[in-house]
């Protein structure tokens, strides 16, 4: 699998959203973190901002919904044209029904796991998803340190996907940088969210290229 680099715009200069998206235009997608101040202790933005990023047509949008009641809110993100919509396993009342609804609307579907949530309960329904997001920080804020003890979960997730003969992406999100990306790729991740690593770099495109190259050494 070719590595996918998904810069998170959480900590970008929101007053210059178009400029910031243009800076990362060599990425595969723009990762848009939606936080509701209930599921996580932080508030970011919602549908109108996601819609503006979609409308800019600079990059496809990978929406990461850190919100309560995704059963109610996630379909709107598919309807406005997000390429993929990821909701949290801990928040969804009926993850399978929601995944099918998002697919019916036409988006790809991701299932996100907080650090303390195991993949085991979801192994039998992996085929319902296009991506599993293994959080490598506790969700809520950018700029945190990568939690190495998540690597066994990345590995178990990749092994379960391979054992089922599926083509499902494994995304890691939180603390991904040139210092940590190889460990994640080696464990089986193929999709890498990086916020501060990309937006604090002098040259965001060069940083994206470096991350892609480091990950490609381990993505098979």
Integer Cα distance of 216 and 195 in angstroms: 19
Looking at 102-110, 118-126, 155-163, 172-180, which segment touches ligand DX5 (CB under 6 A)?
A: 172-180
Q: Which part of the chain contacts ligand DX5 (CB under 6 A), choosing from 83-91, 122-130, 187-195, 212-220? A: 187-195
What's the min distance (Å) between Cβ of 135 and ligand DX5?
7
Please, which residues bridge with residue 62 across strands? 31, 84
157 belongs to the binding site for ligand DX5 (CB under 6 A): no
Give Cα 32 distance to the centre of its chain.
8
Instruction: Say which residues have a Cβ less than 8 Å from residue 138's Cβ, sequence separation at least 6.
Output: 114, 115, 144, 174
Q: Residue 174 — φ and ψ, nearest 5°?
A: 120, 115
Q: Single out the catalytic residue among 28, 36, 173, 190.
A: 173
Residue 73 CA neighbour count, 13 Å, CB half: 20
Choosing from 3, 4, 5, 8, the residue that interacts with ligand DX5 (CB under 6 A) is 8
Q: Does 64 bind ligand DX5 (CB under 6 A)?
A: yes
Tell me, yes or no, if 203 is annotated catalytic: no
For the question of residue 33 being annotated catalytic, the response is yes
Asked whether 71 and 43 are in contact (CB, 8 A), the reply is no
Residue nearest to Zn ion (CB): 64
- Cα 129 to chain centroid, rounded: 13
CA distance 20 to 14: 8
144 binds ligand DX5 (CB under 6 A): yes
Q: Which of 139, 161, 168, 190 binds ligand DX5 (CB under 6 A)?
A: 139
Cβ proximity to ligand DX5, 68 vs 159, nearer residue: 68
Q: Does 62 bind Zn ion (CB under 5 A)?
A: no
Which member of 20, 28, 33, 207 binds Zn ion (CB under 5 A)? 33
- DSSP-derived 3-state class of residue 14: helix
Judging by DSSP bridges, how do beta strands 131-135 and 108-113 pair with one another?
parallel
Reading the block at residue 216, the tokens are 């490609």
Say which of 33, 36, 130, 190 is annotated catalytic.
33
Catalytic residues, by residue number, are 33, 173
Task: Enumerate binding residues for ligand DX5 (CB under 6 A).
Answer: 8, 10, 31, 33, 64, 137, 139-144, 173-176, 193-197
Task: Enumerate binding residues for Zn ion (CB under 5 A).
Answer: 33, 64, 173
């Amino acid at each position: 699998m070719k590595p996918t680099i998904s810069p998170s715009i959480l900590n970008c200069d929101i007053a210059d959203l178009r400029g910031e998206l243009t800076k990362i235009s060599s990425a595969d997608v723009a990762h848009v973190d939606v936080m509701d101040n209930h599921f996580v202790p932080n508030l970011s933005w919602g549908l109108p901002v996601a819609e503006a990023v979609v409308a800019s047509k600079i990059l496809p949008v990978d929406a990461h919904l850190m919100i309560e009641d995704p059963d109610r809110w996630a379909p709107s993100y598919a309807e406005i044209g997000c390429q993929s919509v990821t909701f949290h396993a801990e928040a969804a009342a009926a993850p399978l029904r929601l995944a099918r609804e998002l697919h019916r609307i036409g988006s790809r579907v991701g299932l996100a796991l907080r650090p303390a949530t195991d993949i085991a309960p979801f192994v039998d329904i992996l085929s319902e998803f296009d991506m599993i997001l293994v959080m490598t920080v506790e969700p809520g804020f950018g700029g945190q340190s990568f939690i190495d003890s998540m690597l066994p979960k990345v590995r178990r997730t990749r092994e379960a996907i391979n054992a089922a003969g599926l083509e499902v992406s494994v995304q890691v999100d939180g603390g991904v940088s040139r210092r940590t990306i190889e460990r994640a790729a080696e464990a089986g991740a193929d999709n890498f969210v990086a916020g501060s690593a990309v937006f604090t770099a002098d040259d965001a495109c060069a940083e994206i290229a470096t991350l892609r190259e480091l990950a490609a050494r381990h993505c098979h």
